[in-house]
Amino acid sequence: MADPTASIRSAPPAQPDPLIGRVINDRFRILGVIARGGMGKVYRAEQSPLGRVVALKVLQPNYKGENDPEFDKRFFLEASIVSKLRHPHTVTLYDYGQTDDGVYFMAMEYLEGRTLHRLLRDEGPLDPARALRVLLQTCRALREAHGHGVIHRDLKPANVFLIQHDEDPDFVKVLDFGLLKRTDEDPEEALTQTGLFMGSPKYMAPEQIRGERVSAATDVYSLGVILYEMLTGRVPFDRPSSVNLLMAHVTDPVPPLHETNPAVSVPPAVEALVYRCLAKTPEERFASMDELIAAIKHAAPAAHPGFATGTGEFASSGQSLAAAHLLSSGEHPASLRPAVPTTPPPLPVTPSGASASAAPAAPAEVHVTHEPPRRRAPLMLLGAAAVFFGAVGLGLLGLRATQRPEAGSAQPARATTVSVALESDPPGAEVFEGGVSLGRTPLRAQWTGERGDPNRPHTLVFRAAGYHEHQVTLSGPALAYLARLQRDAPPEAVIPAPAFPAEAPPAEPPAAEPSPAPAARPARSAPRRPRQPPTRNAQGLYNNVY
């Protein structure tokens, strides 16, 4: 009987990685492999003489290939652009180059954490507020890249890295700008060939699949796919073959979120945000990261109440960590701003340097008084608030005056689009605006032209048989609303009145007839008054008949 372990014993041992232990360009000693990909490998390396640990990305020797003859020029140009990105949510590039034997490398910031891809595999769909927070940080990194004239083109959960930063476990670092493309390239000078297939099929925009010119809206589409996956746990299009998958992005409608995963609940404002990002044509999507960031802040209040991470709440305002990131960098959603801008008083500091809230105060330092409150304090606060808002108003007027365009200067007009996601409970209600029917709920639409102005208010009326008419006025770049219709009250039962015979009208009194002469009475001893002749009154009766 043959030994079943013979083939195992005779198998050749795995070949060690030839780059481990090598020093690249006399600076980076490779310590081990972090990850592998189609373009190459990422190693953990130590930079000397700093002793700093870096992530060293080394491209495969055969990656250059015949399909990209301008690889050398393209690599160094793109690496030089990435090295200029300084946003906190973008991975930092320290160095790049080529060795004497033709190895291309990039030395980047070493990160400890996990990718968004791994987070979704470990924990499943994210809460809408948490998903928006991850999306918002990614948009801020891309806004800087777009400001340098380049776009990413390969956005996917594997390129969104989450690290622990202070108290935030979901601090975003955007990776792999190696596939970026300049937006100002001429077709004749494009370093990335139009027909060269780059990107991940599950996250590619239709125009990217067709080989057309890409733009900032291309990254918006990929972010829409990522947000869809964060909310439902699945991508909108997943087909057994790559060809069918790519064609689905180009032709198939986006499946509703509740059909992809009925177990999740997504606010209508967030759902409308997803559908606009996933529009088939770039003109129907958000045109820039600034527009997308504004839409995220618009949808954030609807998603915020469902947020939960276990990282605690703000003691001062009670808002969660998601709201904190939406409020950071001066980007405050209107519904999350405090009513009056206030500055909290500094906490008293103990001699050891810790805040007094961190250690219990001594009883001798607690002073309790019973003095009634003074009435001058509210007046002083109101006066200070009036002075503050007056100064802010004057500053805004001055800023508007300085930024006012000169007379006769032409302002470029750009078509705007409003994403619509209208629901009703129960569904099937007909929606009217200005007496014109817009369709029945659930209603999904993209409004352009005059109706597509985000600043225009839309007064919508929901009508359904057996329910009260519901009216609401909405405005903004994304109109998302759930109309809860109230059922009409049943008609009260009418008890018929009992039938009685009709009463006869009262008869007019007959005309009085003259009374007959009284009978002769016996003679009296007293003389009688002489009898007067009877007279008739207005009613035809006798007055002096007795």
Active site residues: 154
Residue 172: both structure tokens together = 């975003």
Structure-token match 């032409």, residue found: 410
What stretches of 51-176 adopt beta strand conformation (E)?
52-59, 93-98, 104-109, 113-115, 150-151, 160-165, 168-174
Cα(231)–Cα(221) distance, integer angstroms? 15
The answer to whether residues 162 and 134 touch, using CB atoms and an 8 Å cutoff, is: yes
Sheet of 104-109: strand order equals 23-24, 28-36, 40-47, 52-59, 104-109, 93-98
The torsion angles phi and psi of 183, rounded to 5 degrees, stand at -85, -10
State the DSSP H helix or E strand holding residue 116, giving kind and residue range, or none if neither: helix 116-123
Count of beta carbons in the 10 Å neighbourhood of residue 219: 29
Going by their DSSP bridges, the two strands 104-109 and 150-151 should be labelled as unpaired
Residue 323, helix vs strand vs coil = helix
Task: Provide the β-strand partners of residue 462.
Answer: 431, 470
What stretches of 179-311 adopt beta strand conformation (E)?
181-182
The torsion angles phi and psi of 433, rounded to 5 degrees, stand at -135, 120
Task: Tell me the chain's radius of gyration from C-alpha atoms.
Answer: 41
Cβ density class 73-110: b for 16+ within 10 Å, e for less: ebbeebbebbeebebebbbbbbbbbeeeeebbbbbbbb
Structure-token match 């305002």, residue found: 317
The answer to whether residues 458 and 479 touch, using CB atoms and an 8 Å cutoff, is: yes
Residue 319: both structure tokens together = 């808002």
* 225, burial (CB in 10 Å: exposed 0-12, middle 13-18, buried 19+): buried
Cα torsion 318, 321, 323, 329: sign: positive
Q: What is the biggest distance separating any 2 CA atoms in the chain, rounded to whole angstroms?
A: 173
